[in-house]
Chain A
Amino acid sequence: MSKQPLIGRRSWRPSWPVNTEKVFKRRRYLGTKRSVLRLSGSYNPKTLRRELVLTDKKPTFWLIGLLLMLVLPIAVSNERFFALFGIICIYAAINVMWTLIIGTAGLQSFATLATVGVGAYGAAYLSITYGVPWPLMLIIGLFLGALMGFLISLPARRLDGLYYALLTLGLSEFCRNFVTQSDQLGGKFNGALFGVDRIVPSDLMTSWLGQVLLYISAFALLLVALAVFRWVNGGRLGLLLRASATNREDEAFSSAIGINFQRARTWVFMIASAALGAIGAFYAAYIGGTSLQVFSLDLLLLMLAMIVIGGLGRAEGAVIGTIIVVGITQWFTEWGPWRIVLVGVLALLSVLYTRNGIFGLKAQLKEIRQRRQALHRAGLTSRYAEFLPQQAPDIHDKAMIVGRTFERKLRDRLRGWITPVIIEEHRRKPLGQHSDHLERILNYFRQGPIPDKYAVYCEEPFTSYRVVALSGVPGVPPRVVDDKVYPSLDEAYHAVFLRRVNDLRSS
Chain B
Amino acid sequence: MAILELAGVSAGYGPVRVLHDVNLSVNPGERLGLVGLNGHGKTTLLSAIVGLTGWQDGSIIFEGRQIGGRRTHGMGRTTPNIVRQGIALAPQGDAIFPGLTVRENLDSGAYTRATWRSRRSRCDHVLDVFAPLRPLLRQTAGTLSGGERRMVSVGRALMADARLYLVDEPSLGLAPKISLGLVAALCEINIGDGAMIIAEQNLPLLNGRVDRVLGMHAGELKQDVGEALGDIPPAAEAMAQGMHHGRAL
- Are chains A and B touching directly in their complex (CB below 8 angstroms)? yes
Enumerate chain A interface residues (CB-CB to B < 8 A): 370-371, 374-375, 378-379, 382, 388-390
Q: Does the CB pair B12–A378 fall under 8 Å?
A: yes
B20 adjacent to chain A (CB < 8 Å):
yes
Q: Does the CB pair B20–A375 fall under 8 Å?
A: no
B246 adjacent to chain A (CB < 8 Å):
no
| Per-position 1/0 for B1-36, Cβ under 8 A of A | 000000000101011111011000000000000000
Q: Does the CB pair A389–B14 fall under 8 Å?
A: no
Q: Shortest Cβ distance from A389 into chain B, in angstroms?
A: 5
For A371, A379, A389, the residue with the greatest tally of chain B CB atoms inside 10 Å of its CB is A389
List 16 extra interface pairs beyond A379-B17, A390-B39, CB under 8 A. A371-B14, A371-B15, A374-B14, A374-B15, A375-B15, A375-B17, A378-B12, A378-B17, A382-B20, A388-B218, A388-B219, A389-B16, A389-B17, A390-B16, A390-B17, A390-B18
Given the complex, which residues of B lie within 8 Å of A379, measured CB to CB? 17
Q: Shortest Cβ distance from B73 into chain A, in angstroms?
A: 14
* Interface size of B in residues (CB-CB distance below 8 Å): 12
The contact sample of 20 A-B pairs, CB cut-off 8 A, is: A370-B15, A371-B14, A371-B15, A374-B14, A375-B15, A375-B17, A378-B12, A378-B15, A378-B16, A378-B17, A379-B17, A382-B10, A382-B20, A388-B218, A388-B219, A389-B16, A389-B17, A390-B16, A390-B17, A390-B18
When C-beta atoms are compared, the residue in chain A nearest to B12 turns out to be A378
Given the complex, which residues of A lie within 8 Å of B218, measured CB to CB? 388
Given the complex, which residues of A lie within 8 Å of B16, measured CB to CB? 378, 389-390
For B14, B15, B20, B39, the residue with the greatest tally of chain A CB atoms inside 10 Å of its CB is B15
Given the complex, which residues of A lie within 8 Å of B10, measured CB to CB? 382
Given the complex, which residues of A lie within 8 Å of B21, measured CB to CB? 382
B15, B17, B39: the one contacting A382 at CB < 8 Å is B17
What is the CA–CA distance of A463 and B146 in the complex, to the nearest angstrom? 74
Enumerate chain B interface residues (CB-CB to A < 8 A): 10, 12, 14-18, 20-21, 39, 218-219
For B14, B17, B18, B20, the residue with the greatest tally of chain A CB atoms inside 10 Å of its CB is B17
What is the CA–CA distance of A388 and B16 in the complex, to the nearest angstrom? 10
When C-beta atoms are compared, the residue in chain A nearest to B17 turns out to be A378
3 closest A-B pairs by beta carbon, nearest first, are: A374-B15, A378-B17, A382-B20
Q: Shortest Cβ distance from B129 into chain A, in angstroms?
A: 37
When C-beta atoms are compared, the residue in chain B nearest to A371 turns out to be B15
Given the complex, which residues of B lie within 8 Å of A375, measured CB to CB? 15, 17
What is the CA–CA distance of A374 and B218 in the complex, to the nearest angstrom? 19
Given the complex, which residues of A lie within 8 Å of B39, measured CB to CB? 390
What is the CA–CA distance of A364 and B170 in the complex, to the nearest angstrom? 40
When C-beta atoms are compared, the residue in chain B nearest to A373 turns out to be B15
Given the complex, which residues of A lie within 8 Å of B15, measured CB to CB? 370-371, 374-375, 378, 389
When C-beta atoms are compared, the residue in chain B nearest to A378 turns out to be B17
What is the CA–CA distance of A374 and B10 in the complex, to the nearest angstrom? 15
What is the CA–CA distance of A394 and B15 in the complex, to the nearest angstrom? 14
What is the CA–CA distance of A168 and B27 in the complex, to the nearest angstrom? 60
Q: Shortest Cβ distance from A368 into chain B, in angstroms?
A: 12
When C-beta atoms are compared, the residue in chain A nearest to B219 turns out to be A388
What is the CA–CA distance of A371 and B39 in the complex, to the nearest angstrom? 22
What is the CA–CA distance of A375 and B10 in the complex, to the nearest angstrom? 12
When C-beta atoms are compared, the residue in chain B nearest to A389 turns out to be B17
Given the complex, which residues of A lie within 8 Å of B219, measured CB to CB? 388
Q: Shortest Cβ distance from B12 into chain A, in angstroms?
A: 7
What is the CA–CA distance of A490 and B16 in the complex, to the nearest angstrom? 50
Given the complex, which residues of B lie within 8 Å of A390, measured CB to CB? 16-18, 39
Given the complex, which residues of B lie within 8 Å of A382, measured CB to CB? 10, 17, 20-21
What is the CA–CA distance of A375 and B18 in the complex, to the nearest angstrom? 12
Q: Shortest Cβ distance from B180 into chain A, in angstroms?
A: 32
What is the CA–CA distance of A390 and B14 in the complex, to the nearest angstrom? 11
Q: Shortest Cβ distance from A211 into chain B, in angstroms?
A: 54
Q: Shortest Cβ distance from B41 into chain A, in angstroms?
A: 10
When C-beta atoms are compared, the residue in chain A nearest to B55 turns out to be A375
For B10, B12, B16, B39, the residue with the greatest tally of chain A CB atoms inside 10 Å of its CB is B16
Q: Shortest Cβ distance from B97 into chain A, in angstroms?
A: 22
Q: Shortest Cβ distance from A205 into chain B, in angstroms?
A: 57
Q: Shortest Cβ distance from A137 into chain B, in angstroms?
A: 52
What is the CA–CA distance of A389 and B16 in the complex, to the nearest angstrom? 6
Q: Shortest Cβ distance from B33 into chain A, in angstroms?
A: 23
Q: Shortest Cβ distance from B9 into chain A, in angstroms?
A: 13
Q: Shortest Cβ distance from A390 into chain B, in angstroms?
A: 6
What is the CA–CA distance of A390 and B12 in the complex, to the nearest angstrom? 10
What is the CA–CA distance of A351 and B247 in the complex, to the nearest angstrom? 58
Q: Shortest Cβ distance from B17 into chain A, in angstroms?
A: 4
Given the complex, which residues of A lie within 8 Å of B20, measured CB to CB? 382
Given the complex, which residues of B lie within 8 Å of A378, measured CB to CB? 12, 15-17
When C-beta atoms are compared, the residue in chain A nearest to B10 turns out to be A382
What is the CA–CA distance of A382 and B39 in the complex, to the nearest angstrom? 17
Q: Shortest Cβ distance from A378 into chain B, in angstroms?
A: 4
What is the CA–CA distance of A219 and B17 in the complex, to the nearest angstrom? 53
Q: Shortest Cβ distance from B163 into chain A, in angstroms?
A: 32
What is the CA–CA distance of A389 and B21 in the complex, to the nearest angstrom? 14
What is the CA–CA distance of A390 and B21 in the complex, to the nearest angstrom? 15
Q: Shortest Cβ distance from B181 into chain A, in angstroms?
A: 34
What is the CA–CA distance of A379 and B219 in the complex, to the nearest angstrom? 13
Q: Shortest Cβ distance from A295 into chain B, in angstroms?
A: 39
Given the complex, which residues of A lie within 8 Å of B14, measured CB to CB? 371, 374
